[in-house]
Structure 1
Amino acid sequence: MRRSPFTTLGGSGFDGSQDAEARLRWFEHVMRRDMDAPVRRLSRMVSGEVEDVIACDVVNPDHIDVEFDSIGGLESIKQALYELVILPMRRPELFSHGKLLGPQKGVLLYGPPGTGKTMLAKAIAKESGAVFINVRISNLMSKWFGDAQKLVAAVFSLAHKLQPAIIFIDEVDSFLGQRKTSDHEALTNMKTEFMALWDGFTTDQNARVMVLAATNRPSELDEAILRRLPQAFEIGFPDRKERAEILKVILSGEKVEDNIDYDRIASLCDGYTGSDLFELCKKAAYFPIRDLLNDEKSGKPSKEPRPLSESDLEKVIATSKKTQVAANEYNSLRSQLVGLSRQTETDDYPVQAAISELSKLVVSQILNLQAENQDS
């Protein structure tokens, strides 16, 4: 199986212990092996140790397996993203005149966890043919003063050389949240450098570089960041029709019965996210395997597992807990325990920290026991 010429560090063919010379040899090997368009763009970059660190997070769009058709629902949002983001990258000649039709400098996807924000970001890169730079905050941090700014600068310089490119920041609130006086100087400098470079590339009218951010806490973003993300799309909980579409996409290509009523199953999954529906189908897929193993134990001849049925999905729905309910129960239990801890008479910080950690552990054990009881 061929490895992707652009992957994350763990699958790139070298590890972080190797020096810049080894990385350069690896890039030369990739270019000789697979001279497609993104790799040819990579060959034009002025490689250095700083850009090599960021290059480990570059993903070739040809090796992204998510498309708009593989995402159920969100039709209006997908259409808007196609017009605002994908078309300017695929047909730049249509948007090269005037200021009103210039390429978008930033797009924000926000909404509850599990609703498909990261998957939608990958699909945007796939559909636009843009190189996908998945920025990991850990790669931007350094123990050496000033190196963080150099790494941030490398993100944008590499994006320019590989354009069209999308700089993707997942959980952007953890990196570009509201600035506070208690923030470390290094973090403040890194945020300032990021915003300065972000404004810098937008001065080039024809630059096909965009920052795509995702978060489930948009209220915690810095106002200066929100100004640079003029296009924001809420990716909320899917409605019944969208849940039915998601189920069809998930089960397409699987061995299922022809008479499954997707609308009915979707109506039973109110409050489920796309991630919840995927886990629902995964659990249901085990029932045909269990039936086959039980038949073999009883001495029946071995055969192919039966197709997944509507009743399999109903069994899982009866015992599953959607993300929204589980999160609410967790918060409720935790608030009760935290309230008890506040009634203690001690003001000792280490003691309070220990109580907080203990409360988290107790809540986790309670939820695990509830899940085991439901499964049994």
Structure 2
Amino acid sequence: MSARFSRIARNGSQVSASSSGSIDVSAHNHILSQIRSIPDLSSWLHEAWSPINHRHERIAAGTLSMGMAVLTREMIEMHVVQAPEVRGMLDCLPVADRLSLKFIGSRQKLGTWPLSKQQALTSPTAFKMAAEPDHTEHKKKHHVNLNDASGAEHKAVDDTATAILKKKKKPNSLMVTDAVNDDNSVIALSNNTMETLQLFRGDTVLVKGKKRKDTVLIVLADDELDDGSARMNRVVRHNLRVKHGDIVTVHPCPDIKYAKRIAVLPIADTVEGLTGSLFDVFLAPYFREAYRPVRQGDLFTVRGGMRQVEFKVVEVDPPEYGIVAQDTVIHCEGEPIQREDEEGNLNEVGYDDIGGCRKQMAQIREMVELPLRHPQLFKSIDTHARAVANETGAFFFLINGPEIMSKMAGESESNLRKAFEEAEKNSPAIIFIDEIDSIAPKRDKTNGEVERRVVSQLLTLMDGMKARSNVVVMAATNRPNSIDPALRRFGRFDREVDIGIPDPTGRLEILQIHTKNMKLGEDVDLEQIASETHGYVGSDIASLCSEAAMQQIREKMDLIDLDEDTIDAEVLDSLGVTMDNFRFALGVSNPSALREVAVVEVPNTRWDDIGGLEDVKRELIESVQYPVDHPEKFLKFGLSPSRGVLFYGPPGTGKTLLAKAVANECSANFISVKGPELLSMWFGESESNIRDIFDKARAAAPCVVFLDELDSIAKSRGGSVGDAGGASDRVVNQLLTEMDGMTSKKNVFVIGATNRPEQLDNALCRPGRLDTLVYVPLPNEESRAGILKAQLRKTPVAPDVDLKYIASRTHGFSGADLGFITQRAVKLAIKEAISLDIERRKAREAAGEDVDMEEEDETEDPVPQLTKAHFEEAMSSARRSVSDVEIRRYEAFAQSMKSAGPGAFFKFPEAGEAAAEASGGAGGFGEAANDDSLYD
């Protein structure tokens, strides 16, 4: 077979290659006649395609691919091989070969389908199926117009009388939707749509849009796309003058030729301040080995460095459209095109410029696009943004709240009326009122008569819009509870969309949008950045990207001349934001939602910084870190994890340090709240402070709220007689309410710390609030050694200093007491070093030597490390801060917490014991059998 194949391929390459790269009919028939005798066509095709798959002899492969295209199309029509089989073969071809395929030859469809390949190869006429009944024998033959890409059946003459009643089916009419691949030369279709239109991956198609606009694109398959839809990016949509949801038609474009030369010019406002070669930096990388089809008059964008430049194709030779190949000459000479000479601006905001609020955008499109495109369906609908107007082509009228206010009586209402009248004249229109809380506050709480009249006028105008369903009112505010309630009922602003804090997926979308014009280094991991930016909103992420770009510019500042008005394009291309730049930006930025909170940080304390307390660390990891790192485990068992932890124990045992470490290990935001800071002299202010703290924590989830000195704000209720009208009781009530409301919400963990646990309100320590009680005891000998090692890990210590011996002689010392010992030893060492330096300087001055600062720095350090003498002197002044009486009190409280339930005595009975217990009616845990009765 290989010899036969070689002969066929050789003959095919001799007769099938023409000057234009096409296949003539005689060549096609010649090749087809030679393979009719081959028994297994499928294996022959695999053998024939193998040199192309392995890229042997590019020129021969290109010629052979055109011959194979004719053969495979013929065999598909005869149903000898399945279309998907050959589609996989065609996908193996280089893009350049796929673009040059021309399907010519016999197009006649056989009357009935053959049973086997052998029958197909031996009889070129109609065949009868033998192995199964022939279902086509008594049916009318289905003639297909193969020149029509849709494969539509020819209609008989008699059908025209009832044609108007029949549904017009156009398989090549597709609905425009968002692009996943932001390429200016690509249209993505579903696999079924490509099969229906008889298109292969990499084919060039002609796409027609509105206003008699069309362009040429390369087809790619998208497995996730619905049938009847087409993905294209914003640039392609602009060239076709279509918006989201519009219909475009797709047509095969097999006769497209390689362009000999093209001429492109940049748009003036996108190259302002740029110098150097635009071709080398922007155009050459864009067209190199891409085989991009271009259409005269189209715009396209190219990104390089930190800049996005917009170009227009002003000329193509041959005319209209062509493919830019390796030998195509690209001209980029002439004056840039002014923006006003163009019909539109590619930088207008669209749906694909908004990330992180997919659900909210779906609601807005549902409420705004439908009334504008189909006004007969709705009467009035109201809600949010400029992107909707750009995508729907509606007139956009912006009202900034404070701008319509006037000192003249009646003028504010008049300005509002004029805005609605202007929008009505230009319908379909969107009226967008920004900061609506400034012009429509609650009428019963405002003192100004003007604001009340403006609110009344706005209510009247919105009620009068019912007859004008093609005008949509949208408003924005970050204080929804300040708006007059009459505006928030159905018929006015009847749908409210909360644009909340984005989740990690939303943050990734926003990052991709803000970095699409940046040149990113290979080490940049946007998913990692998205996972570390808890609580960041869109503007925070934009600030983060801007700061990372600024850091990159600072690193390349030696290449930038501040005195020059322009920047060389090559310098601009050398700028690339790295992961280190993003790390720096993360270190200097915080979520804007938490900027009002006094102490908001992601601590840098780790478990290694805390010596000892291994049992406490394990308890914390299970309570706080597990729900953040393994939420699927809790969902599996249907368990709502614990959200509250109470540290209690003697002072100085590391309770605050533990809270910082757990927040850092979970990569969570950390809000530290000192109890007395929340209290205020004003009525209701203390409760409001607690409410605000928890609101901000939920906005920045996952977040750890650390309440230090909890006993100062959560004492037992009822004992504060004459305390500012029971303010402390109200604070406790507010705290209990907030902690109850957290369980069903986001990952907000409350960690309380106190050294007076017996004074806390009992309701605070029940399960569901601070349900995990962690006793932080004084450290044992091993823990004390670990604490000393952690505190001295950055301090030079003499090798003969035995920290374990110090730990053995400090029984009853807390972590803070040990910290005092190490701090005292360091102070003594510094004091000794300074004293020796002064003595040395005096000795040299007495000897008449001149010593400058550099020589003094080079002299040997008299005290290079901490010695035994320093620790011995520090131990002489050390003391315990916790007495034995206090320790017994803490241990008694801890024991009372453990012994409140059945504890270790609980055990399920065996089968026999259970039966005896049921018949005997014994009570549980030694209690009476009727213990559940409230009256016995």
Q: Does TM, scored on the shorter chain, surpass 0.5?
A: yes
The more displaced of 318-327 and 250-259 is 318-327
Asked if residue 149 in structure 1 is aligned to residue 690 in structure 2, the reply is no
CA contact (8 A) 1:132 1:167 kept: yes
CA distance in 2, matches of 1:65, 1:59: 12
CA distance in 1, matches of 2:594, 2:621: 31
Asked if residue 72 in structure 1 is aligned to residue 568 in structure 2, the reply is no
Alignment partner, residue 223 of structure 1: 762
Alignment partner, residue 652 of structure 2: 114
CA contact (8 A) 1:72 1:249 kept: yes
Aligned mate of 1:262, from 787, 803, 817? 803
CA contact (8 A) 2:612 2:783 kept: yes
Q: How many residues align structurally? A: 287
The one-letter amino acid of 1:265's match is: I
Alignment partner, residue 873 of structure 2: 315
- What are the ranges of 5 or more consecutive residues in structure 1 without an aligned counterpart? 1-23, 25-31, 45-50, 329-376
CA contact (8 A) 2:610 2:787 kept: yes
The more displaced of 289-298 and 215-224 is 289-298
Q: Aligned ranges for residues 201-216 of structure 1 at < 5 Å? A: 201-204=742-745, 207-216=746-755
Q: Secondary structure at 2:882's aligned position in 1?
A: helix
Q: Aligned ranges for residues 38-77 of structure 1 at < 5 Å? A: 38=534, 40-41=536-537, 55-61=596-602, 64-77=603-616
Alignment partner, residue 104 of structure 2: none
TM-aligned CA deviation for residue 309 of structure 1? 1.4
RMSD: 3.0
Aligned mate of 1:37, from 523, 529, 533? 533
Q: Secondary structure at 2:646's aligned position in 1?
A: strand
CA distance in 2, matches of 1:82, 1:224: 25
Alignment partner, residue 587 of structure 2: none
Asked if residue 164 in structure 1 is aligned to residue 702 in structure 2, the reply is yes
CA contact (8 A) 2:653 2:776 kept: yes
The one-letter amino acid of 1:226's match is: C
Q: Secondary structure at 2:659's aligned position in 1?
A: helix
TM-aligned CA deviation for residue 238 of structure 1? 0.7
Asked if residue 279 in structure 1 is aligned to residue 820 in structure 2, the reply is yes
The one-letter amino acid of 2:866's match is: L
CA distance in 2, matches of 1:216, 1:144: 28
Change (3 A) 1:39 1:70: same
CA distance in 1, matches of 2:679, 2:779: 36
Change (3 A) 1:148 1:324: closer
Alignment partner, residue 732 of structure 2: 191
Q: Aligned ranges for residues 174-189 of structure 1 at < 5 Å? A: 174-181=712-719, 182=721, 183=723, 184-189=725-730
Q: Secondary structure at 1:55's aligned position in 2?
A: coil
Deviations 1:97-122 (A, max 9, x none): 3443x221210111111110011111
CA contact (8 A) 2:663 2:704 kept: yes
More strand by share: 2
TM-aligned CA deviation for residue 164 of structure 1? 0.5
The more displaced of 232-241 and 295-304 is 295-304
CA distance in 1, matches of 2:825, 2:875: 9
- What are the ranges of 5 or more consecutive residues in structure 2 without an aligned counterpart? 1-477, 479-513, 515-528, 541-591, 845-855, 887-936
CA distance in 1, matches of 2:781, 2:802: 13
Q: Secondary structure at 1:214's aligned position in 2?
A: strand
TM-aligned CA deviation for residue 95 of structure 1? 2.0
The one-letter amino acid of 2:660's match is: K
Alignment partner, residue 773 of structure 2: 232
Change (3 A) 1:289 1:153: closer
Change (3 A) 1:165 1:42: farther
CA contact (8 A) 2:650 2:777 kept: yes
Q: Secondary structure at 1:323's aligned position in 2?
A: coil
Report which of the two structures shows the higher radius of gyration computed on alpha carbons.
2
CA distance in 1, matches of 2:704, 2:538: 15
Deviations 1:210-232 (A, max 9, x none): 11100001111110011122111
Alignment partner, residue 789 of structure 2: 248
Deviations 1:319-359 (A, max 9, x none): 2222126999xxxxxxxxxxxxxxxxxxxxxxxxxxxxxxx
TM-aligned CA deviation for residue 178 of structure 1? 0.7
TM-aligned CA deviation for residue 135 of structure 1? 2.0
CA contact (8 A) 2:714 2:731 kept: no
Of structures 1 and 2, the one scoring higher in RCO (CA 8 A, sep 6+) is: 1
Q: Secondary structure at 1:322's aligned position in 2?
A: coil
Q: Secondary structure at 2:713's aligned position in 1?
A: helix
The more displaced of 291-300 and 249-258 is 291-300
Change (3 A) 1:167 1:284: same
CA distance in 2, matches of 1:274, 1:323: 10
Q: TM (normalized to structure 2)?
A: 0.29
TM-aligned CA deviation for residue 136 of structure 1? 3.2
Change (3 A) 1:159 1:279: same
CA distance in 2, matches of 1:72, 1:327: 25
Change (3 A) 1:249 1:224: same
Q: Secondary structure at 1:135's aligned position in 2?
A: strand
Deviations 1:256-311 (A, max 9, x none): 11232111111111111111111111111133333334434163885312310133
Report percent identity of matched pairs: 33
TM-aligned CA deviation for residue 203 of structure 1? 3.0
CA distance in 1, matches of 2:748, 2:647: 17
CA distance in 2, matches of 1:108, 1:138: 18
More helix by share: 1
CA distance in 2, matches of 1:146, 1:324: 37
Q: TM (normalized to structure 1)?
A: 0.69
